[in-house]
Amino acid sequence: MQKVLFVCLGNICRSPTAQGIVEQRLREQGLDDRVAVDSAGTHGFHIGAAPDERATEAAARRGVDLSRQRARCLKPEDLEEFDLVVAMDRENYEHILRMAGDRHAHKVKLFLRDYAPQAGVDEVPDPYYGGRGGFDRVLDLIEQGADGLIASLRTGPGG
Ligand code: 4NP
């Protein structure tokens, strides 16, 4: 089983959305017995909370259910446990790299840079303080990254 962890700041907007989208696509493609997905935040502001309702609603409009997820904080053991730790933006990428150290740095990815270079941006922008339209933009970007990530999981170990 390959294990993939998506990471953003609060674990209530971007990384739960990435988890939900990728889980759904893995199920649709019959890969859910080969790849397990989770998400976490680099900060603990919202531990135990359900995803932001704007994220839940935007995902639901595309047929993806986020409602059962609960926020948690990234911990050092995650770098041991997961094969890939995928950051939504550069700030969180740098944070994870510092936690990973030399031993686990190879597992740490920047989602759009590494899996959706055609998107033209490296980061999934933080939608928390913006309007609802920001959540659709987040979904558009995450759908592109999800396709690239799943394609790379099909072709080789570690992605
Ligand atoms: P996320 O969005 O990192 O995509 O979950 C945020 C959620 C909460 C906060 C910032 C970003 N916050 O500052 O509480």
What pLDDT, on the 0 to 100 scale, is given for residue 131? Answer: 85
Average predicted confidence (pLDDT) for the chain: 96
Residue nearest to atom 12 of ligand 1 (CA): 10
Give CA 145 to chain center in angstroms.
9
Q: Specify the higher pLDDT residue, 111 or 131.
A: 111
Report CA 26 to chain centroid distance, whole Å: 14
Q: How far apart are CA 124 and CA 10, in angstroms?
A: 13
Which tokens go with 9? 């700041």
Query: Which protein residue's CA is at the shortest distance from atom 3 of ligand 1?
Result: 9
Percent of the chain with pLDDT over 70: 98
Interatomic CA distance for residues 58 and 133, integer angstroms: 9
Q: How many helices (H) and strands (E) does the chain have?
A: 6, 4
pLDDT exceeds cutoff 70 at 159: no
125: alpha, beta or left, given left = phi > 0 and alpha = psi -120 to 50? beta
Contacts of residue 133, Cβ cutoff 8 Å, sequence gap at least 6: none
- Asked whether 91 lines ligand 1 (CB < 6 A), one says no
Asked if residue 35 has its Cβ within 6 Å of ligand 1, the reply is no
Degrees (nearest 5) of the Cα angle 56, 60, 66? 45
- Confidence grade of residue 156 (pLDDT, cut at 50, 70, 90): confident
For 33-83, the pLDDT digits (tens) are 999 999 999 999 999 999 999 999 999 999 999 999 999 999 999 999 999
Model confidence at 158, pLDDT cuts 50, 70, 90, reads very low
Residue 14 in contact with ligand 1 by CB distance below 6 A: yes
pLDDT at res. 157: 54
- The pTM for the full model equals 0.97
